[in-house]
Structure 1
Amino acid sequence: MKKGLFFGLILLSVATSCVTKKKYELAENGRLDAIARENVLKGELVGSRDENDRLRERLDVLIRDTAGLGRQIRSYQAMLNTNMSEQEKLNMLLQQKMGELEERERTINELQDMMNVLNQEVQSLLTNVKDALLGFGSDELSVTEKDGKVYVAMSDKLLFESGSARVDKRGKEALAKLAEVLNKQTNIDVFIEGHTDNKPISTVQFKDNWDLSVIRATSVVRILIQDYHVKPLQIQPSGRGEFMPVDNNETAEGRSRNRRTEIIMAPKLDKLYQMLK
């Protein structure tokens, strides 16, 4: 019995010793693996830091090299300007001015060509207007050209009764002939100006000569637009009253000439204005 107990204790001791040794070996292996992984991570971190440091150093070198290159270029430019002879400097300035001159000459030639075209248009318009109004006498109207514009001055006896703004039959005939020209040449601006003599007027319809001149101009515009279909945006009415006379108001003949409605026609200058800008 004692022998059996003794052998049992020995077996238990051996078994316990084996289990403890295995646990120790497993723990030791885990510790060694952890140390190895830590060393690997430390190595990778150190390598990453070293790579960042190398990149920073390379970037700093590039920045310094670039700055130095910029200084060298500026130095070379200064040396070039310093060493350039006065003759060379004058040649460069001359070439620059010649380029500017050529550009100005091109612009001038283009403007001159455009002015020639406008002058041709004015002469053509003048001829067409004279032909259209050929049947009216010099005491009724006149057609002239001045400063690139065509002026048709219609007397008040052709268009209106005395002190009235209603256009009569003979006046409408003249406006119909003129409208035929305007409807064919829509690239022109038309200004209708009413003028009076210096004799004061004060009626129920007209307060003064300003009123009379403005309303007469508006009456002419209304007929051209409504009866003869001239484009509304092509025409601009205005009243000048007694302040732009063409003759002396001291005589009956002079006052008669001053009482007129002027139809002023001019080619559109939009393209010319754009070039001048």
Structure 2
Amino acid sequence: MKSKFPLLLMLIAAAITQGCVSNKKYAELQTSYTALQTKQTELKQSYDLTQRELEGSKTRVRSLEEQIASEKSNRAALQDALTKCLAGNNQGNVNIAKLADQITASDKYIKQLIAAKGKSDSLNMVLTNNLTRSLSQAEMKDVDVQVLKGVVYISLSDNMLYKSGSYEISDQAGATLSKIAKIIMDYSNYDVLIEGNTDNVPIKQPNIRNNWDLSTLRASSVVQALQNNYSVDPKRLTAGGRGEYNPIADNTTDAGKMKNRRTQIIITPKLDQFMDLIGKPVTK
């Protein structure tokens, strides 16, 4: 997509050079330019999120294809063993029956894997849509949602969640947290991990020793808000802090530090639910 910015800048420069642009007109052009910059940033963020989700889906599909190939190879070996057993009938009817049962079980598992491959993308899409359906465009600037293998990751910026340099929830965060709490309530059988993360700048607060403390206190604040303000069952909630040791961007830049200062809400199925989501039976 060709950028409109160079053309707009040329028009502004030409108009100023000719001395025929009023202050009002210049302000309007500047506003248009800023709006276009904002739109481009939003499109870039949307594109990056789509690419990450696509890569996650591709990895999931590749894994399922490998499992299918492996199981088909196993089935072929079982069929070969059964054929030899039937031809010689040297191992008795018990072994023949056992091989036949194993082949049947293998066929069933292959069908489950194929079905899981087919529903993987649609499952992720449904979960993502459920999570983002009530969030406004403005809220999405501070909220990043990803769904990978049935696990929902919601990353919230510290600028939106907390008062500056504090672990107290800001007033503006309430509306967004209430919407996320609604989704958590919808998935009532899922566990919820609240995980705090910081940049690598040492904290300078008399009552907070280091970034470990800050990240854990922030996660605890979100957990208590979900419990006390939005009635999320505390038995489902876990608060944890990872300090500065789980960065997703370069801490040498301000933009990177801003990305690293975040709180993740991770909504996770229990083991039996998770295995059902990916189409694989739980081994007892």
TM-score calculated relative to the size of structure 2: 0.60
Q: Which secondary structure does the structure 2 equivalent of 1:101 belong to?
A: helix
- State whether structure 2 residue 154 is matched by structure 1 residue 147: no
For residues 246 and 186 of structure 1, do their structure 2 counterparts lie closer, same or farther at Cα, with a shift above 3 Å needed? same
For residues 241 and 116 of structure 1, do their structure 2 counterparts lie closer, same or farther at Cα, with a shift above 3 Å needed? farther
Q: 2:241 aligns to what?
A: 239
- State whether structure 2 residue 207 is matched by structure 1 residue 205: yes
Q: Which secondary structure does the structure 2 equivalent of 1:169 belong to?
A: coil
RMSD, matched Cα: 2.9
Match of 1:195 among 182, 194, 197: 197
CA contact (8 A) 2:195 2:264 kept: yes
- State whether structure 2 residue 283 is matched by structure 1 residue 276: yes
Q: 1:218 aligns to what?
A: 220
What letter matches 2:233 in structure 1?
A: K
Identical pairs, percent: 32
For residues 235 and 136 of structure 1, do their structure 2 counterparts lie closer, same or farther at Cα, with a shift above 3 Å needed? farther
Residue ranges of structure 1 left out of the alignment (5+ in a row):
1-84
Q: Following TM superposition, by how much is the alpha carbon of 1:201 offset from its aligned partner in structure 2, in angstroms?
A: 1.5
Q: 1:42 aligns to what?
A: none
CA contact (8 A) 2:251 2:257 kept: yes
Q: 1:9 aligns to what?
A: none
Equivalent positions of 1:169-188 (< 5 A) are 169-188=171-190
- State whether structure 2 residue 127 is matched by structure 1 residue 159: no
Q: Following TM superposition, by how much is the alpha carbon of 1:206 offset from its aligned partner in structure 2, in angstroms?
A: 0.9
CA contact (8 A) 1:119 1:148 kept: no
- Paired residues in the alignment total 194
2-structure distance, mates of 1:87, 1:253:
71
Q: 2:136 aligns to what?
A: 134
2-structure distance, mates of 1:91, 1:238:
58
For residues 165 and 115 of structure 1, do their structure 2 counterparts lie closer, same or farther at Cα, with a shift above 3 Å needed? farther
Q: Following TM superposition, by how much is the alpha carbon of 1:180 offset from its aligned partner in structure 2, in angstroms?
A: 1.4
**Bigger Cα Rg:** 1
Q: Following TM superposition, by how much is the alpha carbon of 1:98 offset from its aligned partner in structure 2, in angstroms?
A: 2.0
Match of 2:266 among 264, 267, 277: 264
TM-score calculated relative to the size of structure 1: 0.61
What letter matches 1:275 in structure 2?
A: V
CA contact (8 A) 1:132 1:181 kept: no
Q: 2:230 aligns to what?
A: 228
CA contact (8 A) 1:194 1:262 kept: yes
2-structure distance, mates of 1:112, 1:268:
23
What letter matches 1:258 in structure 2?
A: N
CA contact (8 A) 1:111 1:275 kept: no
Q: Following TM superposition, by how much is the alpha carbon of 1:116 offset from its aligned partner in structure 2, in angstroms?
A: 7.3
For residues 115 and 170 of structure 1, do their structure 2 counterparts lie closer, same or farther at Cα, with a shift above 3 Å needed? farther
Q: Which secondary structure does the structure 2 equivalent of 1:193 belong to?
A: strand
CA contact (8 A) 2:196 2:216 kept: yes
1-structure distance, mates of 2:227, 2:113:
34
For residues 237 and 108 of structure 1, do their structure 2 counterparts lie closer, same or farther at Cα, with a shift above 3 Å needed? farther
Equivalent positions of 1:14-29 (< 5 A) are none
Residues 61-106 of structure 1 deviation map (CA, whole Å, 9 limit, x = unaligned): xxxxxxxxxxxxxxxxxxxxxxxx9712167444431222213443
Residue ranges of structure 2 left out of the alignment (5+ in a row):
1-85
Q: Following TM superposition, by how much is the alpha carbon of 1:145 offset from its aligned partner in structure 2, in angstroms?
A: 1.8
